[in-house]
Amino acid sequence: MNVRIRKYADKELVLEIEGEDHTLANLLAKSALSNPHTKLATYVIEHPLIGTPVLRIVTDGTDPLQVLKEVVSNTRGEAEQVLKAVSKALNIEE
């Protein structure tokens, strides 16, 4: 995965996530919307053959990189909870 920053300003972060698709971009955008400092979070895949998602996060003035860090951290925690629940359902010790 490579990330290219298109824009990084006080209230906005726009980045390309090469090597990824809708799965990661949608997860990050939807998760960012749950952050109270996020005003807008969306992504677009500008060309269907290239398939590189462009993620955009706009905040209320909070550093958008900090919001992205919180989103990734929270998402990681949620994924770990899912894994624990699946392991418990299958009676597998971690």
What are the tens digits of pLDDT across the range 50-87?
A: 889 999 999 999 999 999 999 999 999 999 999 999 99
Indicate the number of domains in the chain: 1
Q: What H or E segment, with its residue span, contains residue 12? A: strand 12-18
Q: How confident is the model at residue 41 (pLDDT cuts 50, 70, 90)?
A: very high
The CATH number given to whatever domain includes residue 13 is 3.30.1360.10
Task: Report the distance separating Cα 27 and Cα 32, nearest Å.
Answer: 8
Residue pair 2/19 in contact (Cβ under 8 Å)? The answer is: yes
Tell me, yes or no, whether 94 lies in a domain. Answer: no
Residue pair 68/13 in contact (Cβ under 8 Å)? The answer is: yes
Phi, psi of 55 (to 5 degrees): -95, 135
Prediction pTM value: 0.89
Task: Report the distance separating Cα 52 and Cα 55, nearest Å.
Answer: 10
Tell me, yes or no, whether 12 lies in a domain. Answer: yes
CA 13 to chain CA centroid, nearest Å: 12
